[in-house]
Amino acid sequence: MKYNKSEIMKNAWSIVRQCKCTISVALKRAWEKAKEDLKLAKLGKYFNTFLDGCEVLFNLGDGVVSGNTFNCRKTLKEFGLKWNPDEKYWYGSPEKVEDIVRYRVL
């Protein structure tokens, strides 16, 4: 898959306007985000990995995190996920679950 260089440049200029930084710093951030997005796209809807020593299944489509999550519950709460005691899983918006994968796992 190829990168959309036009979109990366638009994101870079957006970062320049928001953060008041140089274009070189903004381009570096925009490329990092594009590479992370490509990794997430390759993962697909389901992603099974370890988070804080717990084996966890991330459902990026529905915003559900399941598995042995007892030891990583603080991290999941930090990202704004809620516990469903009836079904025994964590849930939140798909964007929040994607943020956990992006910043804690990748």
For the full predicted model, state whether its pTM sits above 0.75: no
Structure-block tokens of residue 52 = 């804080």
Give the count of domains, the chain: 2
At 19-41, the pLDDT tens digits run 889 999 999 999 988 888 777 66
Range of the domain at 31: 5-43
Q: In terms of domains, do 67 and 92 share one? A: yes
Q: What are the φ and ψ backbone dihedral angles of 44, each rounded to 5 degrees?
A: 90, -160
Task: Tell me what the pLDDT averaged over the chain comes to.
Answer: 87
Residue with tokens 């915003």: 63
Q: In terms of domains, do 37 and 50 share one? A: no
Q: In terms of domains, do 99 and 72 share one? A: yes
